[in-house]
Amino acid sequence: MLILGLETSCDETSAAVVEDGRHVHSNVVASQIDLHKQYGGVVPEVAARSHVEVILPVIHEALERAGTTWGDIDGIAVTAGPGLLGSLLIGTLTARTLSVVHQKPLYAINHVVAHTFANFLIDPQPQFPLLALSVSGGHSHLLLFKSPLEYELIGRTRDDAAGEAFDKVAKMMGLPYPGGPSVGKAALEGDEHKYTLPVAKLGDSLDFSFSGLKTAVLRTLQSEVGGDFRTPSTELPSRLSELQKNDMAASFQRTVCETLTGRLLQAYHQYRPRSVVIAGGVAANTRLREEVSRQLPVEMHYAPMAYCTDNGAMIAAMGYYLATANQTTDPLKLKTDPILAI
Ligand code: KG4
Ligand code: ZN
């Protein structure tokens, strides 16, 4: 079964053709990073306009690279939420229209859940029950899957998402957007034990909290430049040395990776799943992968970086399972929901 997956929830326009939820025939991603870099973050209006401009060429290229035509496609899966409303609407309106025009069944996908399905695009296939840590710019969730379509949220961030913390800390130090990769790069040159940063104490809960950590980074950097809490964060990049930035990047990254892995291990002991996976943009972080492999008592397999950040292939992969369960959505009724819950 060939599913066309469409993803436009944030700043990547992506279309992919995936067979049986696991064999990727094409995965085209048009990133808007260069457009948003100058603003230090995603500007929703700019993102939506860019999706409009590239979505049809991106779909065309995905079909072409897969060597397919519309006749070969069995269904269309599209991100219905959560995400930026304007961005989501471009994807859903396109998918609804194509579904009607080409008479293909339509599948509405929850973006956060779909991130986990990136791990079905590689071998070996994860086993159920499956524990997933899904961490990106908009969310940090622990999910427990009984089967591909039976899942529950067992932990979540109470404030900032892990990727959001990477992005904010990068901005404080004048490192380029997106913060995850640039903090990761700076961390390679730094001492990860230079600064001791606080970890939120949430008892037995499987939740996360990253906003206190972000504030602690700010206060530490302010004192490093000899200022107090009134020192504007905009002054920090020019007053910090390369060494201070690298050491903070490494110390911050270590703290986040240890926190995420600690919760994942706690959930593992609580639920005893057969497989554990990590997913979402932050799962592209090499330090996180090292920490998870070191601490978790199961053999870990990691999806390629390109399937961790936003992509159409993970949407198509989840679409396959909705297709086999016959969970279609009427193209005239599909709801776009920027705060779609799990
Ligand atoms: O999944 P994704 O592409 O989009 C959302 O659904 O949010 O994740 C993007 C987030 C950004 O916050 C970015 O800084 C972070 O993932 N990220 C990383 C890395 N690559 C991307 N965080 C840490 N290390 C990375 N290598
Ligand atoms: Zn995402």
State pLDDT tens for residues 285-304.
Answer: 999 999 999 999 999 999 99
Burial class (CB in 10 A: 0-12, 13-18, 19+), 88: buried
Q: Is 112 helix (H, G, I), strand (E, B) or coil?
A: helix
Ligand 1 atom nearest residue 170's Cα = 14
Q: Which of 113, 160, 166, 255 to mutate to test the pocket of ligand 1 (most atoms within 8 A of CB)?
A: 166
Nearest to 286 by CA among 242, 256, 248, 263: 256
List, for residues 184-222, the tens digit of each pLDDT value: 999 999 999 999 999 998 989 999 999 999 999 999 999
The residues that bridge with 46 in the sheet, in sequence order, are none
Report pLDDT for 36: 83
Helix axes 211-224, 162-172, angle to 10 degrees: 20
Distance 137 CA to ligand 1 centre (A): 5
Nearest to 160 by CA among 99, 89, 209, 122: 209
Query: What average pLDDT score do residues 264-290 get?
Result: 98
Compute the distance from residue 253 Cα to the ligand 2 centre, in Å. Answer: 20
Atom of ligand 1 nearest to the CA of 308: 1
- Closest atom of ligand 1 to 310 CA is 3
Say what the pLDDT of residue 310 is.
96
Burial (CB count <10 Å: 0-12, 13-18, 19+), residue 49: middle
The pLDDT of residue 37:
85
Mean pLDDT value across the chain: 97
> Which pair of structure tokens corresponds to residue 150?
């039976």
Non-local (6+) Cβ contacts of 150 within 8 A are: none
CA–CA gap between residue 196 and residue 177 (Å, rounded): 25
For ligand 1, say whether the CB of 291 is within 6 Å of any of its atoms: no
Nearest residue CA, atom 1 of ligand 1? 281
Confidence class for position 32, pLDDT limits 50, 70, 90? confident
Element (H, E) at 220: helix 211-224
Which of the ligands is closest to the CA of residue 114?
A: 2
pLDDT band at residue 148, thresholds of 50, 70 and 90? very high
More confident residue, 67 or 177: 67
- Residue 88 phi/psi, 5-degree rounding, is -60, -40
**Is 220 or 39 the better-scoring residue by pLDDT?**
220
Instruction: Please tell me the distance between residue 238's alpha carbon and the centre of ligand 2 in angstroms.
Output: 32
Distance of CA 98 to the CA centre of its chain: 26
Confidence of residue 92 (pLDDT cuts 50, 70, 90): very high
What pLDDT does 211 receive?
Answer: 95
Q: Where does the chain have alpha helices with state H?
A: 33-37, 44-65, 85-101, 111-116, 162-172, 179-187, 211-224, 236-239, 242-271, 286-295, 305-308, 312-324
pLDDT band at residue 41 under the 50/70/90 scheme = confident
Ligand 1 centre from 136 Cα, in Å?
Answer: 5
pTM (2 d.p.): 0.95
Q: What is the mean pLDDT of residues 93-117?
A: 98
> Which of the listed residues 36, 37, 136, 160 should we mutate to test ligand 1's pocket, taking the one with most ligand atoms within 8 A of CB?
136
State whether the beta carbon of 180 lies less than 6 angstroms from ligand 1.
Answer: yes
Confidence of residue 266 (pLDDT cuts 50, 70, 90): very high
Paired with 153 in beta bridges are 143
Ligand 2 center–CA 11 separation, angstroms? 10
> Taking the chain, what is the end-to-end CA distance rounded to the nearest angstrom?
26
Q: Is the pLDDT of residue 40 over 90?
A: no
Q: Is the CB of 281 under 6 A from ligand 1?
A: yes
The sign one gets for the Cα dihedral 18, 21, 24, 29 is positive
Candidate of 88, 278, 282 to mutate for ligand 1, largest count of ligand atoms within 8 Å of Cβ: 282
pLDDT at position 33 is 83
**Burial class of residue 71, CB neighbours in 10 A (0-12, 13-18, 19+):** exposed
3-state SS, residue 200: coil
Query: What is the arithmetic mean of pLDDT over 3-29?
Result: 97
How many residues belong to the chain? 342
Which of 291, 309, 314, 315 to probe ligand 1 with, by most ligand atoms within 8 A of CB?
309
**Facing residues of 79 across strands?**
109
Confidence of residue 142 (pLDDT cuts 50, 70, 90): very high
pLDDT of residue 57: 98
Q: Of the candidates 309, 11, 36, 83, which has an alpha carbon nearest to the alpha carbon of residue 92?
A: 83
